[in-house]
Amino acid sequence: MKFIKFFGNKVRKKDVYFKYSTEEQFTGEYWIDGKKIYCKVISVSGFTKDKYVAHNISNLKRVLSCDLFVMFADNTNHMMPRAHMDNDHDGISIQVNKTNLILQVGTSNGFADTTGYAILKYIKTT
């Protein structure tokens, strides 16, 4: 842990070289209530209907952000959630509950050959 002097006070220096991981880690940041902000990367792959992916986060209180992105077999990248203004019903919504990352997909979609990641930032109850 590195410290710097800031107006005469010793403060912890934020790691600007944050490394994303599939393991839970403290980001070095704090939420407005003083709780630590954690980050975890969750792998997702092919889905043609709603998909539930266990995130294995204990004591989850609130998800602050979820950045989900997938790549198709043709190397096309898509950021989620995805909504279309047509009648094709191929959009995706994202939910996170106490145990799962939930991808809710429309009835017409082509996500069977995708691979990707969700980056969750969250606070815990403890």
Could you tell me the residue ranges of all domains in the chain?
A: 12-124
CB atoms within 10 A of CB 96: 19
Q: Which of 36-40, 86-90, 101-105, 113-117 has the highest mean pLDDT?
A: 36-40
Q: Can you tell me which residue has the tokens 């944050």?
A: 18
**pLDDT for residue 40:** 98
Residue-wise pLDDT tens digits, 58-101: 999 999 999 999 999 999 998 887 666 555 656 778 899 999 99
Distance CA 126, CA 124 (A): 5
DSSP alpha helix (H) spans, 45-125: none
Distance CA 118, CA 116 (A): 7
**pLDDT for residue 4:** 62
Specify the pTM: 0.80
Q: Please, what is the Cα angle at 69 between 65 and 120, to 5 degrees?
A: 25
**pLDDT for residue 1:** 52
Residue among 55, 64, 25 at smallest CA distance from 117: 55
